[in-house]
Amino acid sequence: MTTSIKDVARAAGVSPATVSRALGKGPVSEALRAQVLEAVRATGYRPNLAARRLRSQESGTIGLVLADIGNPFFTGVARAVEAAAYEAGLRVLLCNTDEDPAREAAYLALMQEERVAGLILAPTRATAEGLAEAPPAMPVVLIDRPGPPGLFDSVLLDNAGASAALVDYLVAQGYRRIAGLFGQTSGTGVERAEGYRAAMARHGLAPALRFVLPQVEAAEAGFAALCQQGRPEAMITSNSLLLMGLLRAARGAGLRIPADLALAGFDNEPWTGLVEPGITVIEQPLEAIGRQAMALLLERLRTPSAPVRKVMLSGRAILRGSTASAPPRPQSSTKTPPPSSFTL
């Protein structure tokens, strides 16, 4: 039996309504407010959020549904979202779907039942497509992955632009036979593959790409497949797990990087700078993505009828030794250049 507002009221010698006002914002005389606060302390009263939410019809909570909590990209975004939500006086309900559309659907239903004020969502491709037909009952902001065009606010990386920039850079470094390995569960993988394809075409080069599950093992298999018809000079990939798989596979095959194979990918995870040589990656602005998503959601809550907005953020290319020298040109500069970066 927990203590309720009535117990506090009795202890303070006032009505429950006064207790509620003293703790909330209603007008209460200073004397009574002090009495109430004292009674709260004495009884150890904690308001019941379920009752509060039921009565006031607002949860003070937003949902954050992510595909993979183990991925530093998402934990970084989650941090930023939580910080921004906290500043706005909102709580965050965090859910992890592990890229499973079924769990995703279950969590979306749960969010509905929790009556969250809004949702920030990184959908799998399957869910993203279904979103058009059965839109959730609350405002939704998509992050990281595209949804049905024009229906939801979203904040995305310029994925096509980023992978095109990687291709451009590799070409400028002298690489020609550039293969691509992309994740198949997310729209992000598709967009990055498109950027890769377009850039290769622009340079008059033949694309060689493959879609796989975003797992280390799948990447090792993908590596073998991409090497089937002659080994590429360079590989780019859309995902840090795949990048890790490629690195493992390349090392397993006894390849030197970048002499035998150049590597580049997405997400500036700690290990990409710690291995030798460092891996060239596109760094995503995690903090900005999270805060921007929260900002969009807050404005949508304020003015539900505002036009749908799509915010595109640029990544930053972090150039490291894995893309240093090109094999065809007989430059013997095996020395890896100092790490540098440019904004896309």
Q: How many C-beta atoms surround the C-beta of residue 235 within 10 A?
A: 32
- Closest to DNA by CB, 25 or 335: 25
Q: Distance between CA 260 and CA 255 in Å, rounded?
A: 6
Q: Tell whether residue 23 is a contact of DNA (CB under 7 A).
A: yes
Q: Tell whether residue 244 is a contact of a second copy (CB under 8 A).
A: yes
182-217 burial, b for 16+ CB within 10 Å, e for fewer? bbebbbbbbbbbebbbbbbeeeebeebbbbbebbee
Q: Is 150 left (phi over 0), alpha (psi -120 to 50) or beta?
A: left
What is the rounded end-to-end Cα distance, in angstroms, of the chain? 59
User: Which residues, 271 to 310, sit near a second copy by CB under 8 A?
Assistant: 271, 274-276
4 is in the binding site of which of a second copy, DNA, none (Cβ under 5 to 8 A by kind)? DNA
- Closest to DNA by CB, 26 or 339: 26
Could you give the string, one character per residue 33-62, with x where binding to DNA holds by CB under 7 A and - elsewhere?
------------xxxx--xx-xxxx-----
Q: Tell whether residue 72 is a contact of a second copy (CB under 8 A).
A: yes
Q: Where are the alpha helices (DSSP H) in the chain?
A: 5-12, 16-23, 30-43, 49-56, 72-87, 101-114, 125-130, 159-172, 187-202, 216-227, 240-252, 270-274, 286-302
181 is in the binding site of which of DNA, a second copy, none (Cβ under 5 to 8 A by kind)? none
Question: Strands 262-266 and 208-212: what pairing?
Answer: unpaired
CB of 52 to a second copy, least distance (A): 8
- Closest to a second copy by CB, 32 or 94: 94
Q: Tell whether residue 224 is a contact of a second copy (CB under 8 A).
A: no
Cα 106 from chain centre: 20
Quote the tokens at residue 104.
Answer: 């995703």
Q: Tell whether residue 107 is a contact of DNA (CB under 7 A).
A: no
- Binding part of the chain for DNA, among 4-12, 59-67, 136-144, 207-215 by CB under 7 A, reads 4-12
Q: Tell whether residue 229 is a contact of DNA (CB under 7 A).
A: no
Q: How many helices (H) and strands (E) does the chain have?
A: 13, 13
Q: Which positions lie near DNA, rule CB under 7 A? A: 2, 4-6, 13-21, 23-24, 26-29, 31-32, 45-48, 51-52, 54-57
Q: Which positions lie near a second copy, rule CB under 8 A? A: 2, 46-51, 53-54, 59, 69-70, 72, 75-76, 78-79, 82, 91, 93-94, 96, 109-110, 112-115, 137, 244, 247-248, 269-271, 274-276
